[in-house]
Amino acid sequence: MTEEIETAARRRIARARESALRESGWRGTLALFWREAFRFLRMAGQTLVSPVFTTMLWFVVFGFTLGARLDEVGGVPYIDFLVPGLIMLNLINSAYLNAAFSLFLSRIHGSVVDLLVTPLTPLQIMAGYLGASVLRAVATGAVIWAVAAFMGAGTTHNVGFTLLFMVLTSLAFGLLGLMVAILARDFDDVNFLPSFLLLPLTFLGGVFYSVNMLPPFWANVSLFNPILYMVNGLRYGMTGATDVPVWHGVAIVSTLVAVFGFAAARLLATGKNLREGA
């Protein structure tokens, strides 16, 4: 009888300890999120204002020059057609760069080791970094969206779907940024992916044109570009127009979130490259 009471007591203590660790961990996640959010807000000129300003230059140059010639693309005014692609370009860059550089800098400075010895689980650490990355990406996209509306773009077909797609895309590329930050050996490795893969795929993903405007061969080749489906998913939410089935885009970005999320959690759990720094 005494042994049973002691066993039950040990179980209650173990459950209480696990509950306390989880609670303190999520409080730590919130603190990590705010730390990362304040970090990019302190550099708002570089992290928010600069990409918005650059994107609006693209909008003015292409929207008001090509727009005067093309008039409409797929029944949508060219200015309206252009906005989702430009927002997607910034969502991908902002989410990836925020997560990748933040975690990689923590590796260089050695502060990530302090994070690993806290009660935070890999999932909680990942949530803190991702929250800030999604906030930065969606905030940048929302500002571009608002400025484009002020300049005459009509892109409010389905606001709920648009916001959902913006968040999912930001999650996917924020997770990719975390993976690269863990595996990278130097800043060149961190910069390689956005410069030589993501940016070309985004520009070739229908940002400035409809895939239906391409010759049949190149139109078929474009269908293998996953970012094409993301651009068109956002374009559907904003204008109601799309070159590809919209649910293909939802399936692709959701799959990327699941795959990248699993991989990033595994890398954080193993502590690969984190304990010894960059």
Identify the CA nearest to 35 among candidates 114, 96, 92: 114
Q: What is the mean pLDDT of residues 201-222?
A: 89
Predicted pLDDT of residue 1: 52
The residues that bridge with 76 in the sheet, in sequence order, are: 73
For tokens 């039950």, name the residue: 8
Q: What is the mean pLDDT of residues 79-106?
A: 92
Q: What is the mean pLDDT of residues 211-215?
A: 89
Query: Is pLDDT at 110 greater than 70 in this prediction?
Result: yes
Query: Is pLDDT at 170 greater than 90 in this prediction?
Result: yes
**Of 116 and 190, more confident:** 190
Predicted pLDDT of residue 19: 55
Mean pLDDT score of the chain, rounded to an integer?
86
Query: Is pLDDT at 270 greater than 80 in this prediction?
Result: yes
Predicted pLDDT of residue 247: 93
DSSP string for residues in 215-250: -HHHHHHHTT-HHHHHHHHHHHHHHS--SS-HHHHH
- Rounded CA-CA distance 177/182 in Å is 9
Kindly give the pairing relationship between strand 72-73 and strand 76-77: antiparallel
Q: Which of 46-60, 91-105, 160-174, 207-221 has the lowest mean pLDDT?
A: 46-60
Query: Is pLDDT at 174 greater than 90 in this prediction?
Result: yes
Of 25-29, 68-72, 171-175, where does the model show the most confidence? 171-175
Predicted pLDDT of residue 62: 77
Exposure of 185 by Cβ count < 10 A (0-12 exposed, 13-18 middle, 19+ buried)?
exposed
Q: What is the mean pLDDT of residues 74-86?
A: 89
Query: Is pLDDT at 185 greater than 60 in this prediction?
Result: yes
Predicted pLDDT of residue 41: 87
Q: What is the pTM of this model?
A: 0.86
Query: Is pLDDT at 8 greater than 70 in this prediction?
Result: no
- List, in order, residues 6 or more apart from 3 with CB less than 8 Å away: none
Q: What is the mean pLDDT of residues 196-211?
A: 88
Secondary structure of 104-130 in HEC code, one letter for each residue: HHHHHHCHHHHHHCCCCCHHHHHHHHH
- List, in order, residues 6 or more apart from 113 with CB less than 8 Å away: 274, 275, 277
Q: Can you tell me whether residue 74 is helix, strand or coil?
A: coil
- Rounded CA-CA distance 207/165 in Å is 16
At 159, give phi and psi (nearest 5°): -65, -40
CB 264 within 8 A of CB 126: yes
Query: Is pLDDT at 275 greater than 80 in this prediction?
Result: no
Predicted pLDDT of residue 20: 47
Q: Can you tell me whether residue 152 is helix, strand or coil?
A: coil
Predicted pLDDT of residue 66: 65
Residue 261 vs residues 70, 142, 161, 253, 256: alpha-carbon distances, Å: 41, 24, 22, 12, 8
Q: Which two tokens stand for residue 48?
A: 């928010």
Predicted pLDDT of residue 53: 86
